Amino acid sequence: MEVRSIYKYARISPFKVREVTREIQGLPVSAALDILAFTPKKAAFLINKTLKSAIANAENNANLKADGLVVKEAVVGEGPTFKRMKTRARGSGSQILKRTSHIRIVLTDDVAIETRETRKAKRDQEKKGGESAGKPAGTKKGKKKTAKAAKK
């Protein structure tokens, strides 16, 4: 069963949060919490908060045990951008973009989650077993005969 938690309008750039969410994707909840606890970034604190909320949702709403949960996906979307002005020389001004993000974490109790490594191993195995090494028999690469060459 899947359980999710969303932190909307987090006042941090999505680029900074995605860096941390990549680290916890596909991990068990306990390992993800350990990584977030020792990551010295604001994004780690916000993701930790969202992950704990998802765990609480799983325990209270879906009656799942926290030790059997795995982070299925941790996605960061872009929220609205606050526009502010910064004064510049000669009475002009420039715009400052204060970006926000929406952090969504989905937990599941299914153990078989497809991570990057498993997908790559699966793809390599398909290449080895499924296809032959060379070209099909009877195909030769050469010059095509033109009408002039056929007449001679």
DSSP state letters, the chain: -EEEEEEEEESS-HHHHHHHHHHHTTSBHHHHHHHHHT--SHHHHHHHHHHHHHHHHHHHHS---GGG-EEEEEEEEE---EEEEEE-GGG-EEEEEE--EEEEEEEES-S----HHHHHHHHHHHHHHHS-SSPPTT----PPPPHHHHH-
- Give 10-residue mean pLDDT values along the chain (152 residues): 96 97 94 96 97 96 92 96 97 97 94 71 84 57 66 66
For residue 21 the two structure tokens come to 């969410």
Is there a contact between 18 and 71 (Cβ–Cβ < 8 Å)? no
The domain made up of 2-114 has a fold known as: Ribosomal Protein L22; Chain A (3.90.470)
- Check residue 134 and give its pLDDT: 56
- Check residue 122 and give its pLDDT: 85
- Check residue 117 and give its pLDDT: 75
Domain boundaries, the chain: 2-114
- Check residue 110 and give its pLDDT: 81
- Check residue 115 and give its pLDDT: 66
Phi/psi-derived region of residue 9, left when phi > 0, alpha when psi is between -120 and 50, beta in every other case: left
Q: What is the reported pTM?
A: 0.72
Pairwise CA distance, residues 122 & 105, whole Å: 25
